[in-house]
Structure 1
C-alpha cells in the first residue's frame, strides 16, 4: 500500500476541497490515481463525520461562520474509515460473477470467458474489463516464509555461482569461472573468489581462505549438496567429503547440508550471489582470474560492505564489526591437506602406497585401511572408526620398505608353500634360494620370491636355475641381483649362438619318407584336371 507523505496528503485534501477531479489531481501532483481514490474515500469519510459533529474540525473543514459550497457528488461508493476499498467503481462483469467464477475454477482464460459472455449473455463491455475482473478472482497471496534470526558468529552460508567472462590462459577464449561466496548470516558480510576448476581440495581451501578473511570461525556452515562437500545427501546423516570434513574439524566448524532442492534454507548466500552478479560483474569482462579477484576485493571494501541492508536498515560493515568479536579464534596452524586412499594389508602386514611399503599393524592381514598421504608423512587409519594406527615418514623414492624387524612374520603361509613349489618346478637351486630368502626376511621376502619365479616366464628355466646357483654361491638374496645374473647369462647364451660356426648340411635325396618324383607329378596332374572340370571327374570316379 502506497502511503503519501504529510505534505502530499495535505495537497490532495486541498485539491479535493476545491472540487478538483481525480484526473486533474493526478495531472497536477503526479500521484497514482488509485492512491488518489483511496484518499478521496478518506476525505469523504472525514467530511461525513464532521457533518454529524458540528463542533469537530478536520482537514478540509471551513470556519463555522462560512457556509461551504455544496459538495460535488462522488462517483464512487464511500468506504468506511480505516478500510481500503480499491474496487470503487462497480464492474460491468458483476451481474455475471457466479458464472465467471465457475469458468475460472475450470481454468479457462479471460479471452475464452469474454467470448462466451458476448455469445451467451450479449455482454457489451470490453475485453479489458473481463480481464481485470478475472485477474482479481485469480489473485493469489504470495508464498510466505518464516524469517530466521541468528546470533552473531553462529552461521555462515556457502554456494557456487558464475563469475564474469574471463580470458582462459590455455585457449585464449573468454569463459565464465566459478564464483565462490561465503556469507555470514548475521552481518551479511561476504567473501568472494573466482576459480577455474573446483574439486575437493579447492572447495576446502576456499573455506579456509574465507574463515581467515573473516578473522574467526562460525559454529556451523550451511551448504548445498554438491559433490565437493557432500558425498551422499541424507536428511539426518549426510556423508561429508573426508577432506572437507577434516578441514572443518580442524577449524571447529560443523557442516549443515541443506535439504535437496531447498535453496531457501541458504537464501542469504543466494541473494549475495545475485547481488554480485547483477551489480559488480554484470557487463564486465577480465583478462585474468587474478584481475577479477582483485576487483571483487575492491568492490567489497568500497561498496558491498558499506551498503545499508534492506531488512536490517543497518550498514553491513558496522554489523560485521559487531559480529567479529563473537567469532571463535582461528587455530594456530593451517590445515594440512592430504590425499586419502584405501589400501589392503598384505601378507607381510604392510600396505603399499606409491610403490613403497609401510607397516600397518595393528590392522589385520587382508583388511582395508585408510591411508592419508601428506607431503612428508603417511598416516594409516582404521577405515570404520577413523582411528589413527600408524604414522610413518614418506619415502621420496619408490621400492622402499618400512617395517621394524620385530614386526616381521616368519611363519609360512599358503602363499609361501605355493612359491616354494613353483620354485622347485624351475630347479633345486631356485627352491633353495627362495627358502633361504624366506628364512632371512620372513614374509617380506615373498615379494622377491614372486619376482624370481616370474623370471621363468621370460627366460629359459635352465638360465634361471644357473643364476640362482651363482646367487647361492655368492650369498645373494635380492631379486634385483638375481635378475641381473639372469640377464647376463641370457646375453652370453645369445653371443655363443652367434659365434657358433654355421655348418652346411647335405640334402638327402633317398629316404623312406621321400616318394619318387613320378608320384608327385601324377598328383599335380590330377589336381589340375580337377580344377578344369571337377564335375566330369567326379562323374568318372562314380562310374568306376
Structure 2
C-alpha cells in the first residue's frame, strides 16, 4: 500500500480489523503493509468516527476516502548504481565485496553515490541468507491452518471415471484436531464449501485461518501485496475469522498442516487403502479423524488431539452464525459490444454505457449480480443451462430494442394502427413465411419514423395497386413522392382467398395480438 492508494477492499479489511481491536503489528503482518500505513488509516478512522460506526460498504468508503484523504503521488528515485548493473553483477560473480565494488565505481566512473546505495543494490540483486525460525504455539480457538494436497486418483461416482483428487485439511493449531475432505478441484466454491463443512465439523469458528497461497484463496502470491479473493473475504466476514496468508515459498510458517496434516493423511490414511469412490473415501476419512488421528499421541504436544479439543478448545470457539454462508464466487468479466458478459458459459446483460469496461460478477446459487466501481449495475437469476442468454431490455441501446423484441403479432398490430393498406402489406408478407419476412416488415414499418404514418399508408396503397410489396418499391415511392399522387384503386381488405395460400390459416392465428414486444 505504500506510496499509492490501496484498493478500497484492502482498506475496508484493514478497518474491520481495527474495529476488532487488532494491533498495528498484527494488521501490518497479516495484510503485508507497513505499520506506518496502518497508523495512517487508524488516525483517519478515528477522526471520522469510522471505528465506532458500522463497517461501511465499499462504495461508501471509497466516496468518503476520495473527499477526506487525498492521494499524493509516490516518489520515484532510481538507484544511482543502475547504469553499472552489468559490471556489478560480474564483480559479484568473481566474489568481489561491496566495499571493493564501491571503490571500483568511484575510480572508473567517478561514481557520486554512497556506499550504502551500492550495498542496497547488491542486496536487491542477491537472495538473502537462510533465516532461523522459532516455533510459535497458539492459544486454544485462536488459529487453524489450511492446505490442499494432491491425493492421487479417485473414482467420480457421477461419471464412473477416475479423476485427479485433492485433500483439504484444516487443523486446529492448539489441539491438532483435524477436518479432512477429498475433492476434485481447487475452485473457489469448493474451497468455501470445505471451510463451511469444517466449521460445522468443529462446531465453531477459530479467530484466524492461516493458509498457503492457493489459486482459490489468494489472487496474487506477491509477498508484499497478497490480494484475497472477494468471495473468501465475504466468507471470513460472515463467520468472523481473519485471513492470514502464509508468505510465498515459506511453508515452515504453517508446518502444523504440511507436516502434521496433509503428509500425515497421505502416509497414514491413503497409503495401502483402496476406495470405491470419493464418497467412500470421505466417509472413511471422517471416521479415521475421530477414531485414529484424533486419538493418537501427538508428537509435538504429547497429548491426544481429540481430548485436548473436547476439554479445552471446543468451548472457546466462536459460535457458528445463525445461517450458513451462502456460497458466492466473484469474477471480473468484460462487457462485450452485445451488452453481455460471459460467466460460467452463460451470458448476462449489463447497461450498454459500460461496454468495454471490466465488471465484477458475483454469482450465488440462484442469482448473479454485477458491480462497476462497487456500484450494483445489474441483477439476473442464475442461468440453468450452458449458453443461456439472460437479457434485460433496459440494458440495451434504445434504438436497438424494437428490432430485438419484435414479433409477427406485434408487427401486425402496429400495421393496423397505421392503416388498412399497411395492414394488408404486412399481412401478405407475413402470410407465408412469417419469421423469414420479419426483417423486411420491420424495415417497412420503420419508414413511418422517417416519412410519417400517413405517407407510409399512402405508399402501401400504391404498392398494393401494382401488386409490388417489396421494401425497395415502398422506399422508392416515398423518396420520389409518388405516394402523394392519387390512387385509383382502393386498397383491398386482407382475405384468405387473396393473400394466403390455399388452406392456410391467417398469421394472427399463430401469433395472438396479446404477445410480443413493440415494432416501433
TM-score w.r.t. length of structure 1 = 0.45
Q: Choose 1 or 2 for highest CA Rg.
A: 1
TM-score w.r.t. length of structure 2 = 0.47
